[in-house]
Amino acid sequence: MAQVKDAPVDSEKEAPQTKISGANIIARCLKEQGVEYMFGIVGIPVMDIAASAQREGIRYIGCRNEQAASYAAGAVGYMTGRPGACLAVSGPGMIHAIAGLANAWSNGWPMILLGGANDSFQNGMGAFQETPQVEAARPFVKYAARPDSIERLPYYIEQAVRTSIYGRPGAVYLDLPGDIIFGSMAEAEVESPARCADAPKSLADPDAIRAALKALKSAKRPLVVVGKGAAYARAEDEVRSFLEQTQLPFLPTPMGKGVVPDDHELSIAPARSLAIGEADVILLIGARLNWILHFGKPPRFDKDVRILQIDIEPEEISTNVPAEVAMVGDAKSIVGQLNAELKSSPWAFPAENDWRAALAAKCKENVASTEAMMDDDSTPMGYYYVLREIRDQIPRDAMIVSEGANTMDIGRTVLPNFEPRSRLDAGSFGTMGVGMGFALAAALVHPDRKVVAVEGDAAFGFSGLEVEVACRYQLPITFIIINNNGIGGGISKLDPARDIPVGVYTVNARYERVIEAFGGKGYYVTTPSELGPALKSALAEPGPTLVNIMIDPKAQRRPQKFQWLTR
């Protein structure tokens, strides 16, 4: 019998290539582009993206509602300078997450929404949850795209991340069809762009720098307004140096608080209305003349006020009030230019003059008025007494999240911030319901700091079940609900025989029991004697806690010279 020889070996025959799925490529590319946090709710077709993100080292947090997840992603972008990611299923899930896109769009925060979508070969057929998602996202984003192949996923992800952080930061959207997510290609053939660099730091025209300082030197009643654009730019060292060199009085916007500590001697925040109403030259550092600053118009501002404006976005210059000097670019870099010019030509606003005296007198008057309300320990309690107790017990470096009409507005004046980017609130969009997502984000980005979320009862209701998320991940958050039984105020007793007033909620609702259902610790407070011990105990816990504080349903802020919203 003839011997059978072994078949010849084809030395050029290739070994089978390792395949990689679209989900894996998406997660890997996000990580390569500096995305470290992802919030979402998994389901068809995005579950594999979340699992892949975890394997790639991205911190994935499963939320209970896409709105909270999307708010958290935007807050991460603000705190870190790289977009947080929100992952949503197709159709209703993606639509819910548009809330966060809009909030990031209004605030100028980078975030990326990843929306699952029906298989591309089913377009137009009435597929499961088929929705015009790219079109729905487009009004609120800088960039919206639907990747056309698995091979091109890295290109789209790099472009989305880069667009979110370059220029004025903002939201971006990627629409991800199921066949792209579940498809695969040879891993060796994946071509990933390099990580996009941090945004370029553009400078202002040197002539504008000199003109701005000349204008400030000519002012009799100068004012500096520090906005959250300065906080985002990480301009805190430069801004503090500028203020201390020039000795100019400053006022922070709500999320500009902490860029320079609220207890700095040059802060005139208690005299806000007088300061903006009578200033003749105002330097805006990353602050917009939108509704928060009353559009820069009378009666809140002098009709002849001269505006010096630092902003990253050219189109923002001269909005509502023509800018005498426009400095377009990165706030950190431009304030650095101002400081360099001052070094060669030192100048400081005089230590004694009528303007300083007027501001100091108004600060003293308003502080005294507020302190009287903070000392009122009657029962039922008012906002000021409760907020003072919170102020006295929270750590100096606490991350403060605040929302709810009176809760937020009064809290802004009572709860100080000493670190930049340490206050998160309803922001430029005036969004209620952001607090729970913001708190989750703050606890992840700053695990070494206590997060204190001070909520109105109405605000808490938008996304209160996110306390389960805090318990599941054992996040160091103390939720504090200042409960007045309704929107802007409630009543002490419901009458079932009459129509319930439109802004009223369940009287004396036991919100603390919600967190207890998930293993957190809850506290119910009705009297001043209970308040201090409850806060002390809650803040001492390493995990999530909730303090539900009943106040007078008719409690309000102290009388104001102007309505909160200028008309």
Is residue 42 predicted with pLDDT exceeding 90?
yes
Q: What is the pLDDT of residue 13?
A: 58
Q: Decide: 79 and 67 in contact? Cβ < 8 Å.
A: no
Q: Which amino acid is at 333?
A: S
Residues whose CB falls within 8 Å of the CB of residue 301, separated by 6 or more in sequence, listed in order: 276, 277, 279, 294, 321
Co-location of 91 and 236 in the same domain: no
- Do 332 and 417 lie in one domain? The reply is no
Q: Give the domain-ending residue among 164, 189, 214.
A: 189
Region 322-348 average pLDDT: 98
Indicate if 263 and 162 belong to the same structural domain.
no
Does the pTM surpass 0.85? The reply is yes
Q: pLDDT tier at 522 (50, 70, 90 boundaries)? A: very high
Is the same domain home to 211 and 149?
no
Say if CB 379 and CB 295 are below 8 A apart: no
pLDDT confidence of residue 2: 47
pLDDT band at 14 (very low <50, low <70, confident <90, very high): low
DSSP 8-class letter at 559: P
CATH number assigned to the domain comprising residue 179: 3.40.50.970
Q: Is the dihedral of CA 4, 8, 14, 15 positive or negative?
A: positive
Q: What is the pLDDT of residues 16-40, one digit of tens each?
A: 789 999 999 999 999 999 999 999 9
Give the total number of structural domains in the chain: 3
Encoding tokens for residue 567? 């008309």
Q: Do 356 and 221 share a domain, yes or no?
A: yes
Q: Are residues 354 and 452 in the same domain?
A: no
71, pLDDT greater than 80: yes
Q: Quick check: is 201 in a domain?
A: no
| 1 confidence band (pLDDT: 50, 70, 90) | very low
What is the CA angle 49-53-58, rounded to 5? 150
* Residues in CB range of 139: below 8 A, 6 or more apart: none
Residues 399/424, Cβ–Cβ less than 8 Å: yes
Full residue range of the structural domain in which residue 542 is found:
375-550
Domain identity same for 470 and 539: yes
Closest CA to 514 of 558, 561, 466: 466
Q: d(Cα 291, Cα 277) in Å, to the nearest integer? A: 15
Residue 367 lies in a domain: no
Residue 11 resides in a domain: no
Is there a single domain that holds both residue 454 and residue 347?
A: no
Q: How many CB atoms lie within 10 A of CB 57?
A: 10
Mean pLDDT of 493-505: 86
- DSSP β-ladder status, 19-21 and 184-186: antiparallel
CATH number at residue 293: 3.40.50.1220
Instruction: Show contacts of 156-160: CB within 8 Å, 24+ apart.
Output: 157/26, 157/29, 157/30, 157/33, 158/29, 158/33, 158/192, 158/193, 158/196, 160/112
**Confidence band of 492 (pLDDT split at 50, 70, 90):** confident
* pLDDT on residue 16: 74
Residue 483 forms beta bridges with which residues?
Answer: 550
